[in-house]
Amino acid sequence: MNKEQRGGMTRREFAKASAVTGFAILTAKSGLAEDNSDTLKIGLIGCGGRGGGAVLNCLQGNDNVKIVALADVFEDRIKSKRSEMENHKSPRIKPKVDIKDDMCFTGLDAYKKLLETDVDVVIHATPPYARPMHITAAVAAGKHIFVEKPIAVDPAGVRIFIDAVNKAKEKGLSFVTGTQRRHQRAYIETIQRIHDGEIGEVLSARAYWNGTLPFCHERDPKWGDLEYRLRNWYNYIWTCGDNIVEQHIHNLDIINWVMNAHPVKVTASGGRAWKPREEKYGDLWDNFSCDFEYPNGAHMYSFSRHWNDSANAVFEEVTGTKGKSNCRDMGKDSGDPMIQEHVDLVNSIRGTGPYLNTGIATAESTMTAIMGRMAAYTGKELTWDEAINADLSLVPDDLDWDKPYPVGPIPVPGT
Ligand SMILES: NC(=O)c1ccc[n+]([C@@H]2O[C@H](COP(=O)([O-])OP(=O)(O)OC[C@H]3O[C@@H](n4cnc5c(N)ncnc54)[C@H](O)[C@@H]3O)[C@@H](O)[C@H]2O)c1
């Protein structure tokens, strides 16, 4: 969409004008001396490791941006992230941190309160269970968005997220997803060469994320079920989607990108080889092996596992009629892709770069992982259409600190 099609407005003005009624009231200036109409105000939802990192990446890579608001379910996470940002040593970061007490929001509705402020851009880095609901609200509030991967944990969530992505497009909101390899030069240049025919027609692919268990926390006796599920979120299916969704999505995304398509079919297996049946280890499996089929008949063999003291391997590889590639070997890296994705977002918002909305690609990569998990858990071959249209919604409708959220049964194929 060019400036004429937007009625002579910049993309930023257009996005604001097309946002919900009453937005003009919410964009009143804070009165800070350094404020000007081009300063982008950022709000972070999900103040953990990646959220804090993403904010620093954004501040490092861009001029005239500042972090002004934080939202998290837990107050201790806000306090520690705020302190880390405010005490940052870098002269490129510190002046861009301007967080007031009344711009810090805690609780299950913290995201709603942050969306009512005048932030222009939301960085979303909660665990993925919350993504579809929060991103729908962020788009309705007319915010530009950076959202971490994966974008959901179930087909219902993917469908909700896709609807929000399309609405963001209609409103001209910039929308960048945290699949940083898509902003990494070596991948971009190599995959362009593959698309140009360098290795011939792609006949098969391999994608691996074989790594160790990321984290697992003991329960503090003071925590209710919900607090424990959210603090130990990497261990429950409804909060993280299992390791294939939470982590392996990065590698599946690369192969979808190379193939210019999502798989049409999958057959898979997996299990839980070493984890004791304890609450802290949740209900996840610890290994998946999937055979995905693409529309042209090519197959991708995918392996993902969380095993300690084992051979780790994280890579992608494609084989064509004229050669092989690891999807990075025909390009040259420069810079940090985790900074570049924020530079690309801000350029899109300001109209100094191409308009970006990468939501559908990441929704498809998330769905690819979910489809593999569904095939493995059930032991059945699944088509894309069956998987994405499945009536499967794992995230509880009501989240309440006082309610019980028992750990689900560990999936057993055929049951
Ligand atoms: N792109 C990458 O390479 C990359 C790297 C690391 C993490 N990530 C992604 O970032 C996300 C977060 O990972 P992390 O390592 O930062 O986890 P984390 O546990 O450090 O942080 C998550 C934060 O979200 C908060 N939170 C949970 N539910 C919330 C809700 N409903 N509303 C507001 N806040 C909520 C938690 O309290 C926590 O502070 C994950 O989806 C992960 O896959 C991406």
Closest CA to 111 of 160, 151, 168, 71: 71
Residue 193 has pLDDT above 50, yes or no: yes
Burial of 336 (C-beta count, 10 Å sphere; 0-12/13-18/19+):
middle
How crowded is residue 71: how many other Cβ atoms within 10 Å of its Cβ? 30
**What pLDDT, on a 0 to 100 scale, did the predictor assign at position 21?**
24
Tell me the β-bridge partners of 10: none
Query: Which residues lie closer than 8 Å to 3 by C-beta, 6 or more apart?
Result: 9, 10, 351
Q: Which amino acid is at 16?
A: K
Q: Cα of 124 to ligand 1 centre, how many Å? A: 8
Q: Cα of 231 to ligand 1 centre, how many Å? A: 10
Q: How large is the average pLDDT for residues 400-412?
A: 97
Residue 325 has pLDDT above 70, yes or no: yes
**What pLDDT, on a 0 to 100 scale, did the predictor assign at position 35?**
44
Using CA of residue 68, residue 72, residue 76, residue 81, what is the dihedral sign?
A: negative
For ligand 1, atom 8: residue with the closest CA: 50
Q: How large is the average pLDDT for residues 13-42?
A: 43
Q: Is the CB of 243 under 6 A from ligand 1?
A: no
**Distance in angstroms (rounded) separating the CA atoms of residues 203 and 361:** 21
Express each pLDDT in 232-251 by its tens digit.
999 999 999 999 999 999 99
DSSP letter for 344, please.
H
Q: Is the CB of 369 under 6 A from ligand 1?
A: no
Residue 95 has pLDDT above 50, yes or no: yes
Q: How large is the average pLDDT for residues 77-83?
A: 98
> What are the φ and ψ backbone dihedral angles of 82, each rounded to 5 degrees?
-60, -45
For ligand 1, atom 1: residue with the closest CA: 178
How crowded is residue 296: how many other Cβ atoms within 10 Å of its Cβ? 12
- Which of 73, 184, 238, 245 gets mutated to test ligand 1 (max ligand atoms within 8 A of its CB)? 73
Residue 9 has pLDDT above 90, yes or no: no
| CATH hierarchy code of domain 11-181+340-357 | 3.40.50.720
Is CATH 3.30.360.10 the classification given to domain 184-333+363-388?
yes
Tokens of 292: 């995905």
Q: Where are the domains of the chain?
A: 11-181+340-357, 184-333+363-388
For ligand 1, atom 18: residue with the closest CA: 48
DSSP letter for 234, please.
G
**What pLDDT, on a 0 to 100 scale, did the predictor assign at position 8?**
38
**What pLDDT, on a 0 to 100 scale, did the predictor assign at position 37?**
57
| Cα dihedral 57/58/62/68 (nearest 10) | -130
Query: Which residues lie closer than 8 Å to 182 by C-beta, 6 or more apart?
Result: 188, 253, 257, 341, 358, 361
Residue 13 has pLDDT above 90, yes or no: no
Q: Cα of 318 to ligand 1 centre, how many Å? A: 31
Residue 396 has pLDDT above 90, yes or no: yes
Q: Which residue, chain included where needed, has tokens 């130990």?
A: 232
**What pLDDT, on a 0 to 100 scale, did the predictor assign at position 229?**
98
Q: Which amino acid is at 388?
A: I
For ligand 1, atom 7: residue with the closest CA: 50
Residue 299 has pLDDT above 80, yes or no: yes
Closest CA to 157 of 241, 234, 226, 229: 241
Query: Which residues lie closer than 8 Å to 179 by C-beta, 6 or more apart?
Result: 149, 249, 250, 253, 358, 361, 362, 365
Using CA of residue 191, residue 195, residue 196, residue 198, what is the dihedral sign?
A: positive
Pairing of strands 144-147, 121-124: parallel
Closest CA to 242 of 411, 118, 87: 411
Express each pLDDT in 138-184 by its tens digit.
999 999 999 999 999 999 999 999 999 999 999 999 999 999 999 99
Read off the pTM: 0.92
Q: Is the CB of 126 under 6 A from ligand 1?
A: yes
Express each pLDDT in 379-391 by its tens digit.
999 999 999 999 9
Q: Is the CB of 230 under 6 A from ligand 1?
A: yes
**What pLDDT, on a 0 to 100 scale, did the predictor assign at position 414?**
85
Q: How large is the average pLDDT for residues 346-350?
A: 98
> What are the φ and ψ backbone dihedral angles of 96, each rounded to 5 degrees?
-95, 10
**What pLDDT, on a 0 to 100 scale, did the predictor assign at position 415?**
82
Q: What mean pLDDT is reported for the chain?
A: 92
